Amino acid sequence: MNFEEFQNSARLYVIGALEPEELQDFEGARKQYGTAAEDFIQQCYALHEAFALSLKPAKASEAIKNRLMAMVRERGPKQPPA
């Protein structure tokens, strides 16, 4: 797999669209290209953000936030391990 093919696979990988048999080849190329591969994969995650930002925001109900904050505050700070 050359690097351009790796890049195509990486974009599929971050959205979870690689088939199992492709995943094996992808992981092999990922090892082969090392840091360059990891850097590119990180950049590809920008696709997630782009898809989310392309949607019209949908406001959640205020009750949800109140419930969430009540749960968080009720739990209080986590205790350090004994």
Partner 1 sequence: MSSAADSNVQASSGGEVEAEIPPQKMASSVPIELGAPSDVDLMLRIQAEDADALSQLYDRYDGILKALILRIIHNDTEADDLLQEVFLEIWNQAKNFSPQKGKPLGWMVTLTRRRAIDALRKKQAYNRAEERLQAETEQQPLAWVENVTDKEIRAGDTRALMAKVINSLPEAQQQVIELAFFQGMSQREIAFHTNIPLGTVKTRLELGLKKIYDGLKELKDEL
Among residues 2, 35, 60, 82, which is the contact residue for partner 1, using CB under 8 A? 60
- Cβ proximity to partner 1, 64 vs 82, nearer residue: 64
Does position 11 bind partner 1 by CB under 8 A?
yes
Among residues 72, 80, 81, 82, which is the contact residue for partner 1, using CB under 8 A? 72
- Rounded CA-CA distance 72/11 in Å is 36
DSSP code for 55: S
Tell me the number of residues near partner 1 by CB under 8 A. Answer: 43
Least Cβ distance, residue 76 to partner 1 (angstroms): 8
Strands (E), the chain: none
CA distances from residue 47 to 18, 29, 44, 50, 59 in whole angstroms, order as listed: 15, 21, 6, 5, 23
Least Cβ distance, residue 68 to partner 1 (angstroms): 5
Contact 9/29 with Cβ under 8 angstroms? yes
Does position 64 bind partner 1 by CB under 8 A?
yes
